Structure 1
Amino acid sequence: MRVAIAGLGAIGTSVAKAIDAGIDGLVLSAVSAQSIEKHHGWLSELKSAPVALPVEQLADAADIVIECAPSKLVRSIVAPAVSRGKTAIVLSAGALLENADLIELARKHGGQIVVPTGALIGLDAVTAASVGTIHSVRMSTRKPPRGLAGAPYVIDHGIDLDGITAPSKIFEGTAREAAKGFPANINVAAALSLAGVGPDRTMVEIWADPTVTRNTHRIEVDADSARFSMMIENIPSENPKTGRITALSVIACLRKLRAPLRVGT
Protein backbone atom coordinates (compact mmCIF):
# COMPACT_ATOMS: atom_id res chain seq x y z
CA MET A 1 0.00 0.00 0.00
CA ARG A 2 1.28 3.44 -0.94
CA VAL A 3 1.44 6.05 1.82
CA ALA A 4 1.67 9.83 1.40
CA ILE A 5 2.43 12.31 4.17
CA ALA A 6 1.21 15.91 4.24
CA GLY A 7 3.49 17.95 6.48
CA LEU A 8 7.08 17.20 7.43
CA GLY A 9 7.33 18.67 10.90
CA ALA A 10 8.37 16.61 13.91
CA ILE A 11 5.55 14.08 13.43
CA GLY A 12 5.61 13.77 9.64
CA THR A 13 9.38 13.36 9.54
CA SER A 14 9.35 10.62 12.19
CA VAL A 15 6.57 8.74 10.41
CA ALA A 16 8.28 9.04 7.02
CA LYS A 17 11.54 7.63 8.35
CA ALA A 18 9.70 4.78 10.10
CA ILE A 19 7.91 3.77 6.89
CA ASP A 20 11.16 3.91 4.94
CA ALA A 21 12.89 1.78 7.61
CA GLY A 22 10.21 -0.84 7.10
CA ILE A 23 6.54 -1.31 7.97
CA ASP A 24 5.09 -4.49 6.51
CA GLY A 25 3.13 -3.90 3.31
CA LEU A 26 3.69 -0.14 3.15
CA VAL A 27 5.84 2.11 0.99
CA LEU A 28 6.31 5.88 1.24
CA SER A 29 5.22 7.17 -2.16
CA ALA A 30 4.77 10.94 -1.76
CA VAL A 31 5.23 13.85 0.62
CA SER A 32 4.21 17.47 0.79
CA ALA A 33 5.62 20.36 2.82
CA GLN A 34 5.45 24.12 2.77
CA SER A 35 9.21 24.37 2.15
CA ILE A 36 10.15 21.03 0.65
CA GLU A 37 13.65 22.29 -0.17
CA LYS A 38 14.74 22.30 3.48
CA HIS A 39 13.94 18.59 3.71
CA HIS A 40 15.89 17.61 0.60
CA GLY A 41 18.89 16.36 2.57
CA TRP A 42 17.23 13.64 4.61
CA LEU A 43 14.63 12.80 1.96
CA SER A 44 17.41 12.02 -0.53
CA GLU A 45 18.92 9.57 1.96
CA LEU A 46 15.79 7.41 2.16
CA LYS A 47 15.97 3.96 0.61
CA SER A 48 13.04 4.82 -1.63
CA ALA A 49 12.77 8.57 -2.17
CA PRO A 50 9.12 9.76 -2.38
CA VAL A 51 7.91 12.32 -4.89
CA ALA A 52 7.07 15.82 -3.65
CA LEU A 53 3.55 16.96 -4.52
CA PRO A 54 1.06 19.67 -3.54
CA VAL A 55 -1.28 18.45 -0.78
CA GLU A 56 -4.23 18.37 -3.17
CA GLN A 57 -2.45 15.79 -5.35
CA LEU A 58 -1.27 13.38 -2.66
CA ALA A 59 -4.36 11.19 -3.03
CA ASP A 60 -3.43 10.57 -6.68
CA ALA A 61 -0.18 8.91 -5.57
CA ALA A 62 -1.26 6.97 -2.49
CA ASP A 63 -3.76 4.60 -0.94
CA ILE A 64 -3.33 6.19 2.50
CA VAL A 65 -2.79 9.91 3.11
CA ILE A 66 -1.52 10.99 6.53
CA GLU A 67 -2.30 14.55 7.61
CA CYS A 68 0.46 16.05 9.77
CA ALA A 69 -0.13 19.61 8.63
CA PRO A 70 -1.68 22.83 9.99
CA SER A 71 -5.40 22.37 10.67
CA LYS A 72 -6.38 24.88 7.97
CA LEU A 73 -5.16 22.38 5.34
CA VAL A 74 -7.18 19.40 6.56
CA ARG A 75 -9.95 19.78 4.02
CA SER A 76 -7.61 20.04 1.03
CA ILE A 77 -5.79 16.91 2.21
CA VAL A 78 -8.70 14.72 3.32
CA ALA A 79 -11.38 15.48 0.73
CA PRO A 80 -9.40 14.25 -2.33
CA ALA A 81 -8.49 11.04 -0.50
CA VAL A 82 -11.90 9.98 0.81
CA SER A 83 -13.70 11.06 -2.37
CA ARG A 84 -11.56 8.45 -4.14
CA GLY A 85 -12.47 5.77 -1.63
CA LYS A 86 -9.09 5.96 0.09
CA THR A 87 -7.99 6.31 3.72
CA ALA A 88 -7.03 9.57 5.40
CA ILE A 89 -5.29 9.45 8.78
CA VAL A 90 -6.02 12.75 10.51
CA LEU A 91 -4.06 14.23 13.41
CA SER A 92 -5.76 17.64 13.39
CA ALA A 93 -8.92 16.13 14.82
CA GLY A 94 -10.20 19.56 15.84
CA ALA A 95 -10.57 20.50 12.18
CA LEU A 96 -13.00 17.62 11.69
CA LEU A 97 -15.43 19.39 14.02
CA GLU A 98 -15.61 22.28 11.55
CA ASN A 99 -15.56 20.01 8.49
CA ALA A 100 -17.98 17.32 9.60
CA ASP A 101 -19.24 16.89 6.02
CA LEU A 102 -15.95 15.10 5.26
CA ILE A 103 -17.33 12.14 7.21
CA GLU A 104 -20.37 11.97 4.93
CA LEU A 105 -18.10 12.35 1.91
CA ALA A 106 -16.10 9.34 3.08
CA ARG A 107 -19.29 7.33 3.63
CA LYS A 108 -20.61 8.19 0.17
CA HIS A 109 -17.44 7.13 -1.66
CA GLY A 110 -16.30 4.22 0.52
CA GLY A 111 -13.38 6.12 2.02
CA GLN A 112 -12.34 6.19 5.65
CA ILE A 113 -11.09 8.81 8.09
CA VAL A 114 -8.89 7.41 10.86
CA VAL A 115 -8.09 9.44 13.98
CA PRO A 116 -5.22 7.72 15.83
CA THR A 117 -5.02 7.78 19.60
CA GLY A 118 -2.26 10.36 19.38
CA ALA A 119 -1.28 12.06 22.64
CA LEU A 120 -4.29 10.73 24.53
CA ILE A 121 -5.01 7.55 26.43
CA GLY A 122 -8.03 5.32 26.76
CA LEU A 123 -9.93 6.05 23.55
CA ASP A 124 -10.70 2.32 23.35
CA ALA A 125 -12.49 2.51 26.70
CA VAL A 126 -14.41 5.64 25.72
CA THR A 127 -15.42 4.10 22.38
CA ALA A 128 -16.63 0.97 24.14
CA ALA A 129 -18.55 2.98 26.74
CA SER A 130 -20.26 5.00 23.99
CA VAL A 131 -21.94 1.82 22.73
CA GLY A 132 -23.91 2.10 25.97
CA THR A 133 -24.70 5.41 27.66
CA ILE A 134 -22.08 7.93 28.72
CA HIS A 135 -23.32 10.44 31.28
CA SER A 136 -20.36 12.83 31.25
CA VAL A 137 -16.83 13.29 29.92
CA ARG A 138 -14.37 15.85 31.26
CA MET A 139 -10.77 16.53 30.32
CA SER A 140 -8.21 18.72 32.01
CA THR A 141 -5.04 19.65 30.10
CA ARG A 142 -1.92 21.19 31.63
CA LYS A 143 0.92 22.49 29.49
CA PRO A 144 3.99 24.62 30.03
CA PRO A 145 2.96 28.19 29.11
CA ARG A 146 5.22 28.29 26.03
CA GLY A 147 3.36 25.26 24.67
CA LEU A 148 0.24 27.43 24.35
CA ALA A 149 1.93 30.32 22.56
CA GLY A 150 0.16 31.52 19.45
CA ALA A 151 -3.22 29.97 20.24
CA PRO A 152 -6.07 32.19 18.93
CA TYR A 153 -7.79 32.14 22.33
CA VAL A 154 -4.61 33.32 24.05
CA ILE A 155 -4.15 36.13 21.54
CA ASP A 156 -7.81 37.22 21.51
CA HIS A 157 -7.95 37.40 25.33
CA GLY A 158 -4.58 39.11 25.70
CA ILE A 159 -3.18 36.40 27.98
CA ASP A 160 0.44 37.07 28.95
CA LEU A 161 1.90 33.58 29.07
CA ASP A 162 5.33 34.92 30.07
CA GLY A 163 3.77 36.49 33.15
CA ILE A 164 2.26 33.25 34.44
CA THR A 165 4.27 32.10 37.47
CA ALA A 166 1.76 29.67 39.02
CA PRO A 167 -0.70 27.12 37.56
CA SER A 168 -3.48 29.14 35.91
CA LYS A 169 -6.71 27.94 34.33
CA ILE A 170 -7.00 29.97 31.16
CA PHE A 171 -9.94 28.19 29.52
CA GLU A 172 -13.05 26.19 30.43
CA GLY A 173 -15.70 25.17 27.93
CA THR A 174 -16.74 22.53 25.42
CA ALA A 175 -14.41 20.53 23.20
CA ARG A 176 -15.80 22.42 20.19
CA GLU A 177 -14.87 25.75 21.76
CA ALA A 178 -11.47 24.41 22.80
CA ALA A 179 -10.73 23.22 19.27
CA LYS A 180 -11.47 26.68 17.87
CA GLY A 181 -9.43 28.50 20.49
CA PHE A 182 -6.47 26.12 20.58
CA PRO A 183 -6.31 24.41 17.15
CA ALA A 184 -2.66 23.33 17.48
CA ASN A 185 -2.89 22.29 21.12
CA ILE A 186 -6.10 20.48 21.83
CA ASN A 187 -6.71 17.91 19.10
CA VAL A 188 -6.83 15.43 21.97
CA ALA A 189 -10.10 16.98 23.14
CA ALA A 190 -11.59 16.70 19.68
CA ALA A 191 -10.55 13.06 19.38
CA LEU A 192 -12.02 12.36 22.81
CA SER A 193 -15.30 13.99 21.83
CA LEU A 194 -15.53 12.03 18.57
CA ALA A 195 -14.97 8.79 20.47
CA GLY A 196 -17.57 9.60 23.11
CA VAL A 197 -20.46 12.03 23.54
CA GLY A 198 -19.61 14.62 20.92
CA PRO A 199 -17.94 18.03 20.95
CA ASP A 200 -20.75 19.91 22.68
CA ARG A 201 -21.05 17.59 25.70
CA THR A 202 -17.33 16.96 26.25
CA MET A 203 -16.08 19.53 28.77
CA VAL A 204 -12.49 20.80 28.75
CA GLU A 205 -10.22 22.78 31.05
CA ILE A 206 -6.87 24.15 29.85
CA TRP A 207 -4.18 25.18 32.32
CA ALA A 208 -0.96 27.07 31.66
CA ASP A 209 1.28 25.52 34.29
CA PRO A 210 4.94 26.56 34.69
CA THR A 211 5.47 23.73 37.19
CA VAL A 212 5.08 21.00 34.54
CA THR A 213 7.55 20.01 31.83
CA ARG A 214 5.23 17.53 30.12
CA ASN A 215 1.91 17.99 28.35
CA THR A 216 -0.54 16.40 30.78
CA HIS A 217 -4.09 15.24 30.07
CA ARG A 218 -6.53 13.84 32.62
CA ILE A 219 -9.84 12.31 31.52
CA GLU A 220 -12.83 11.47 33.69
CA VAL A 221 -15.72 9.45 32.25
CA ASP A 222 -18.98 8.44 33.91
CA ALA A 223 -21.02 5.86 31.97
CA ASP A 224 -23.61 3.18 32.63
CA SER A 225 -20.96 0.53 31.96
CA ALA A 226 -18.04 1.97 33.92
CA ARG A 227 -16.64 4.98 35.69
CA PHE A 228 -12.99 5.63 34.96
CA SER A 229 -10.28 8.26 35.02
CA MET A 230 -6.98 8.31 33.14
CA MET A 231 -3.93 10.54 33.05
CA ILE A 232 -1.03 10.76 30.65
CA GLU A 233 2.10 12.93 30.81
CA ASN A 234 3.57 13.36 27.35
CA ILE A 235 7.17 14.38 26.72
CA PRO A 236 7.10 17.24 24.17
CA SER A 237 8.72 16.73 20.77
CA GLU A 238 10.89 19.34 19.06
CA ASN A 239 7.60 21.22 18.74
CA PRO A 240 6.49 22.01 22.33
CA LYS A 241 2.85 21.90 21.25
CA THR A 242 3.13 18.22 20.30
CA GLY A 243 4.07 15.16 22.34
CA ARG A 244 6.59 12.61 21.09
CA ILE A 245 4.03 9.84 21.51
CA THR A 246 1.85 11.32 18.75
CA ALA A 247 4.21 10.20 15.99
CA LEU A 248 4.58 6.80 17.64
CA SER A 249 0.79 6.48 17.69
CA VAL A 250 0.63 6.99 13.93
CA ILE A 251 3.38 4.42 13.38
CA ALA A 252 1.53 1.93 15.61
CA CYS A 253 -1.66 2.59 13.64
CA LEU A 254 0.14 1.86 10.36
CA ARG A 255 1.64 -1.34 11.73
CA LYS A 256 -1.84 -2.54 12.71
CA LEU A 257 -3.02 -2.37 9.11
CA ARG A 258 -1.26 -5.62 8.16
CA ALA A 259 -0.44 -7.10 11.55
CA PRO A 260 -1.29 -10.79 12.16
CA LEU A 261 -2.40 -9.79 15.68
CA ARG A 262 -4.29 -6.60 16.52
CA VAL A 263 -4.74 -5.59 20.15
CA GLY A 264 -7.34 -2.98 21.01
CA THR A 265 -10.76 -2.09 19.66
Structure 2
Amino acid sequence: MSGRLGAIGTRLAQLLRQTGAPVRIAAVAVRDAQTPRDGLPEGVALIDSPEALAATGASLVVEAAGRGSVGIWGRAAFAAEMDYAVSSTSAFVDEALLAELLSLARAKGRQLLIPPGALGGIDALAAAGRLPIASVEHRIVKPAQAWKGTPAADLVDLDALSGPTVFFSASAREAADAFPQNANVAVITALAGIGLDRTRISLVADPDAMLNRHEIRAEGDFGKMDLTFENRPLATNPKSSEMTALNLARLIESRVNPLVL
Protein backbone atom coordinates (compact mmCIF):
# COMPACT_ATOMS: atom_id res chain seq x y z
CA MET A 1 0.00 0.00 0.00
CA SER A 2 1.33 3.42 -0.87
CA GLY A 3 0.01 6.94 -0.94
CA ARG A 4 0.54 10.26 0.71
CA LEU A 5 -0.57 9.86 4.35
CA GLY A 6 -2.89 12.86 4.38
CA ALA A 7 -6.31 13.13 6.00
CA ILE A 8 -7.81 10.10 4.23
CA GLY A 9 -4.63 8.03 4.48
CA THR A 10 -4.30 8.72 8.19
CA ARG A 11 -7.91 7.75 8.84
CA LEU A 12 -7.53 4.63 6.70
CA ALA A 13 -4.50 3.50 8.70
CA GLN A 14 -6.47 4.03 11.91
CA LEU A 15 -9.41 1.97 10.64
CA LEU A 16 -7.22 -0.93 9.52
CA ARG A 17 -5.53 -0.94 12.90
CA GLN A 18 -8.84 -0.82 14.79
CA THR A 19 -10.35 -3.71 12.84
CA GLY A 20 -7.22 -5.81 13.10
CA ALA A 21 -7.19 -6.44 9.36
CA PRO A 22 -4.38 -8.86 8.43
CA VAL A 23 -2.70 -6.38 6.13
CA ARG A 24 0.52 -4.42 6.37
CA ILE A 25 1.21 -0.90 5.15
CA ALA A 26 4.50 -1.42 3.36
CA ALA A 27 5.27 2.15 2.34
CA VAL A 28 3.97 5.69 2.19
CA ALA A 29 4.86 8.00 -0.68
CA VAL A 30 5.97 11.48 0.41
CA ARG A 31 7.62 14.44 -1.25
CA ASP A 32 10.81 14.07 0.80
CA ALA A 33 11.63 10.70 2.30
CA GLN A 34 14.38 12.22 4.46
CA THR A 35 11.91 14.25 6.52
CA PRO A 36 10.62 12.22 9.52
CA ARG A 37 6.86 11.72 9.82
CA ASP A 38 5.05 11.26 13.12
CA GLY A 39 2.28 8.73 13.58
CA LEU A 40 3.34 6.21 10.95
CA PRO A 41 2.86 2.53 11.78
CA GLU A 42 6.05 0.76 12.78
CA GLY A 43 8.14 -0.57 9.92
CA VAL A 44 6.57 1.59 7.21
CA ALA A 45 9.05 2.77 4.59
CA LEU A 46 8.99 6.29 3.20
CA ILE A 47 9.49 6.58 -0.55
CA ASP A 48 9.63 9.72 -2.64
CA SER A 49 9.85 8.36 -6.17
CA PRO A 50 7.63 6.03 -8.20
CA GLU A 51 10.72 3.98 -9.08
CA ALA A 52 11.06 2.98 -5.42
CA LEU A 53 7.64 1.35 -5.40
CA ALA A 54 8.72 -2.01 -6.80
CA ALA A 55 11.09 -2.69 -3.91
CA THR A 56 8.33 -2.35 -1.28
CA GLY A 57 6.84 -5.76 -2.02
CA ALA A 58 3.31 -4.36 -1.90
CA SER A 59 0.45 -6.02 -3.77
CA LEU A 60 -1.86 -2.99 -3.77
CA VAL A 61 -1.22 0.73 -4.21
CA VAL A 62 -3.83 3.09 -2.76
CA GLU A 63 -3.88 6.64 -4.09
CA ALA A 64 -5.30 9.36 -1.83
CA ALA A 65 -3.07 12.30 -2.72
CA GLY A 66 -4.92 14.30 -5.39
CA ARG A 67 -5.52 13.86 -9.08
CA GLY A 68 -2.04 15.01 -10.08
CA SER A 69 -0.63 11.83 -8.57
CA VAL A 70 -3.00 9.37 -10.24
CA GLY A 71 -1.12 8.83 -13.48
CA ILE A 72 2.36 8.90 -11.97
CA TRP A 73 1.72 6.25 -9.33
CA GLY A 74 -0.62 4.24 -11.52
CA ARG A 75 2.09 3.72 -14.13
CA ALA A 76 4.53 2.73 -11.40
CA ALA A 77 2.04 0.36 -9.76
CA PHE A 78 1.33 -1.55 -12.95
CA ALA A 79 4.99 -1.60 -13.95
CA ALA A 80 5.63 -3.30 -10.58
CA GLU A 81 2.70 -5.68 -11.23
CA MET A 82 0.58 -4.31 -8.39
CA ASP A 83 -3.14 -3.52 -8.33
CA TYR A 84 -4.05 0.15 -8.08
CA ALA A 85 -6.96 1.77 -6.17
CA VAL A 86 -7.76 5.39 -7.03
CA SER A 87 -9.48 7.83 -4.67
CA SER A 88 -8.91 11.00 -6.74
CA THR A 89 -11.23 9.81 -9.48
CA SER A 90 -11.62 13.34 -10.87
CA ALA A 91 -8.37 12.55 -12.74
CA PHE A 92 -10.46 10.37 -15.04
CA VAL A 93 -12.15 13.33 -16.68
CA ASP A 94 -9.06 12.82 -18.83
CA GLU A 95 -10.20 9.92 -21.01
CA ALA A 96 -6.69 9.35 -22.33
CA LEU A 97 -5.35 8.78 -18.81
CA LEU A 98 -8.09 6.29 -17.98
CA ALA A 99 -7.50 4.44 -21.25
CA GLU A 100 -3.75 4.35 -20.62
CA LEU A 101 -4.07 2.92 -17.12
CA LEU A 102 -6.61 0.33 -18.24
CA SER A 103 -4.26 -0.73 -21.03
CA LEU A 104 -1.36 -1.09 -18.58
CA ALA A 105 -3.55 -3.06 -16.17
CA ARG A 106 -4.60 -5.50 -18.92
CA ALA A 107 -1.03 -5.94 -20.11
CA LYS A 108 0.12 -6.89 -16.59
CA GLY A 109 -2.96 -8.87 -15.61
CA ARG A 110 -3.69 -6.44 -12.77
CA GLN A 111 -6.73 -4.38 -11.73
CA LEU A 112 -7.55 -0.69 -11.65
CA LEU A 113 -9.89 -0.41 -8.66
CA ILE A 114 -12.43 2.39 -8.13
CA PRO A 115 -13.70 2.44 -4.52
CA PRO A 116 -17.24 3.81 -3.95
CA GLY A 117 -15.79 6.88 -2.22
CA ALA A 118 -18.50 8.64 -0.22
CA LEU A 119 -21.21 6.52 -1.83
CA GLY A 120 -22.96 3.19 -1.50
CA GLY A 121 -25.13 1.28 -3.92
CA ILE A 122 -22.61 1.65 -6.72
CA ASP A 123 -22.72 -2.11 -7.17
CA ALA A 124 -26.45 -1.86 -7.91
CA LEU A 125 -25.96 0.96 -10.41
CA ALA A 126 -23.15 -0.93 -12.13
CA ALA A 127 -25.31 -4.07 -12.23
CA ALA A 128 -28.20 -2.10 -13.73
CA GLY A 129 -25.83 -0.99 -16.48
CA ARG A 130 -25.94 -4.50 -17.96
CA LEU A 131 -29.21 -3.24 -19.46
CA PRO A 132 -29.75 0.15 -21.10
CA ILE A 133 -29.94 3.04 -18.59
CA ALA A 134 -31.89 6.09 -19.73
CA SER A 135 -30.72 8.64 -17.17
CA VAL A 136 -28.62 9.15 -14.05
CA GLU A 137 -28.80 12.28 -11.91
CA HIS A 138 -26.60 12.90 -8.88
CA ARG A 139 -27.21 15.79 -6.49
CA ILE A 140 -24.37 16.61 -4.08
CA VAL A 141 -25.41 18.69 -1.06
CA LYS A 142 -22.81 19.95 1.42
CA PRO A 143 -22.73 22.59 4.16
CA ALA A 144 -22.00 26.01 2.71
CA GLN A 145 -18.69 26.18 4.58
CA ALA A 146 -17.51 22.95 2.95
CA TRP A 147 -17.54 24.72 -0.43
CA LYS A 148 -15.20 27.49 0.71
CA GLY A 149 -11.86 27.46 -1.02
CA THR A 150 -13.45 26.09 -4.19
CA PRO A 151 -14.82 27.85 -7.31
CA ALA A 152 -18.21 27.85 -5.57
CA ALA A 153 -17.09 30.95 -3.71
CA ASP A 154 -16.95 32.81 -7.05
CA LEU A 155 -20.40 31.62 -8.09
CA VAL A 156 -22.41 32.35 -4.94
CA ASP A 157 -22.01 34.23 -1.65
CA LEU A 158 -21.60 31.27 0.68
CA ASP A 159 -21.97 33.43 3.78
CA ALA A 160 -25.29 34.95 2.70
CA LEU A 161 -27.31 31.87 1.77
CA SER A 162 -30.75 31.52 3.35
CA GLY A 163 -31.43 27.99 2.09
CA PRO A 164 -30.18 25.21 -0.17
CA THR A 165 -28.75 26.74 -3.35
CA VAL A 166 -27.79 24.98 -6.57
CA PHE A 167 -24.72 26.85 -7.80
CA PHE A 168 -23.51 24.43 -10.48
CA SER A 169 -25.33 22.00 -12.75
CA ALA A 170 -23.57 20.19 -15.57
CA SER A 171 -22.19 16.84 -16.69
CA ALA A 172 -20.14 14.65 -14.38
CA ARG A 173 -17.06 15.45 -16.45
CA GLU A 174 -17.52 19.20 -15.97
CA ALA A 175 -18.37 18.91 -12.27
CA ALA A 176 -15.38 16.73 -11.40
CA ASP A 177 -13.03 18.89 -13.45
CA ALA A 178 -14.18 22.12 -11.80
CA PHE A 179 -14.51 20.70 -8.26
CA PRO A 180 -11.93 17.89 -7.99
CA GLN A 181 -11.96 17.73 -4.19
CA ASN A 182 -15.70 17.94 -3.67
CA ALA A 183 -17.03 16.10 -6.72
CA ASN A 184 -14.79 13.06 -7.13
CA VAL A 185 -17.92 10.98 -6.58
CA ALA A 186 -19.39 12.35 -9.79
CA VAL A 187 -16.87 10.27 -11.72
CA ILE A 188 -17.65 7.16 -9.66
CA THR A 189 -21.36 7.47 -10.44
CA ALA A 190 -20.61 8.10 -14.10
CA LEU A 191 -18.25 5.15 -14.52
CA ALA A 192 -20.77 2.84 -12.85
CA GLY A 193 -23.61 4.05 -15.03
CA ILE A 194 -23.86 5.93 -18.33
CA GLY A 195 -20.58 7.81 -18.57
CA LEU A 196 -19.12 11.19 -17.78
CA ASP A 197 -20.99 13.20 -20.39
CA ARG A 198 -24.51 11.77 -19.92
CA THR A 199 -24.53 11.73 -16.10
CA ARG A 200 -26.01 14.97 -14.73
CA ILE A 201 -24.60 16.52 -11.55
CA SER A 202 -26.02 19.30 -9.37
CA LEU A 203 -23.87 20.87 -6.67
CA VAL A 204 -25.72 22.43 -3.74
CA ALA A 205 -24.60 24.60 -0.83
CA ASP A 206 -26.90 24.37 2.19
CA PRO A 207 -26.26 26.70 5.15
CA ASP A 208 -28.32 24.45 7.44
CA ALA A 209 -26.77 21.13 6.45
CA MET A 210 -24.69 19.30 9.01
CA LEU A 211 -23.81 16.30 6.84
CA ASN A 212 -22.72 15.70 3.26
CA ARG A 213 -25.69 14.35 1.28
CA HIS A 214 -25.74 12.46 -2.01
CA GLU A 215 -28.97 11.85 -3.90
CA ILE A 216 -28.74 9.56 -6.94
CA ARG A 217 -31.66 8.77 -9.23
CA ALA A 218 -31.40 6.36 -12.16
CA GLU A 219 -33.98 5.03 -14.60
CA GLY A 220 -33.67 2.39 -17.28
CA ASP A 221 -34.68 -1.04 -18.45
CA PHE A 222 -33.88 -2.40 -14.96
CA GLY A 223 -36.51 -0.11 -13.38
CA LYS A 224 -35.93 2.91 -11.13
CA MET A 225 -33.36 3.54 -8.44
CA ASP A 226 -33.26 6.24 -5.75
CA LEU A 227 -30.26 6.29 -3.43
CA THR A 228 -29.67 8.80 -0.64
CA PHE A 229 -26.66 9.01 1.66
CA GLU A 230 -25.92 11.45 4.46
CA ASN A 231 -22.29 11.22 5.52
CA ARG A 232 -20.35 12.84 8.29
CA PRO A 233 -17.49 14.96 6.98
CA LEU A 234 -14.01 13.64 7.66
CA ALA A 235 -12.97 15.29 10.93
CA THR A 236 -9.68 16.55 9.48
CA ASN A 237 -11.02 17.52 6.05
CA PRO A 238 -14.63 18.74 5.68
CA LYS A 239 -14.36 18.57 1.88
CA SER A 240 -14.32 14.78 2.15
CA SER A 241 -16.50 12.23 3.94
CA GLU A 242 -15.79 9.67 6.62
CA MET A 243 -17.36 7.13 4.25
CA THR A 244 -14.50 7.64 1.79
CA ALA A 245 -12.01 6.18 4.26
CA LEU A 246 -14.48 3.50 5.36
CA ASN A 247 -14.95 2.32 1.79
CA LEU A 248 -11.19 2.18 1.26
CA ALA A 249 -10.83 0.07 4.39
CA ARG A 250 -13.56 -2.27 3.15
CA LEU A 251 -11.87 -2.61 -0.25
CA ILE A 252 -8.57 -3.59 1.39
CA GLU A 253 -10.17 -5.99 3.86
CA SER A 254 -12.13 -7.66 1.05
CA ARG A 255 -8.84 -8.74 -0.49
CA VAL A 256 -7.90 -10.80 2.57
CA ASN A 257 -11.18 -11.73 4.32
CA PRO A 258 -12.72 -15.16 3.63
CA LEU A 259 -16.20 -13.61 3.42
CA VAL A 260 -16.68 -10.85 0.87
CA LEU A 261 -19.93 -8.87 0.55
Give the alignment's TM-score, normalised by structure 2.
0.90
| Number of positions where the alignment pairs a residue of Structure 1 with one of Structure 2 | 254
Q: Which runs of 4+ in 1 moved over 4 A?
A: 34-39
Deviations 1:106-162 (A, max 9, x none): 2222221111112012101101001111111000011112212222x436x454323
Q: How does 1:2-81 map to 2 (within 5 A)?
A: 3-4=1-2, 6-20=3-17, 22-24=20-22, 26-34=23-31, 40-43=37-40, 46=41, 48-54=42-48, 56-57=50-51, 59-60=53-54, 61=56, 62-81=58-77
Residue 260 of structure 2 aligns to which amino acid in structure 1?
R
Change beyond 3 A, Cα 1:34–1:165: farther
Residue 196 of structure 2 aligns to which amino acid in structure 1?
P
The equivalent position to 1:190 in structure 2, one of 182, 187, 190, is 187
Deviation at 1:18, TM superposition (A): 3.8
Partner of 2:260: 262
Q: How does 1:1-265 map to 2 (within 5 A)?
A: 3-4=1-2, 6-20=3-17, 22-24=20-22, 26-34=23-31, 40-43=37-40, 46=41, 48-54=42-48, 56-57=50-51, 59-60=53-54, 61=56, 62-98=58-94, 99-100=97-98, 101-151=100-150, 153-154=151-152, 157-237=154-234, 238-263=236-261
Q: Percent identity?
A: 32
Partners in 2 of 1:219 and 1:248 — Cα distance? 20
State the secondary structure of the residue aligned to 1:41.
coil
Partners in 2 of 1:58 and 1:18 — Cα distance? 26
Partners in 1 of 2:85 and 2:170 — Cα distance? 27
Structure 1 unaligned spans of 5+: none
Residue 126 of structure 1 aligns to which amino acid in structure 2?
L
Deviation at 1:50, TM superposition (A): 0.5
Deviation at 1:51, TM superposition (A): 0.7
Structure 2 unaligned spans of 5+: none
Change beyond 3 A, Cα 1:39–1:166: farther
Change beyond 3 A, Cα 1:162–1:38: farther
**Range with greater deviation from structure 2 (110-119 or 28-37):** 28-37
Contact residue 141 and residue 216 of structure 1 kept, 8 A: yes
Change beyond 3 A, Cα 1:106–1:37: same
Residue 148 of structure 1 aligns to which amino acid in structure 2?
W
Change beyond 3 A, Cα 1:194–1:78: same
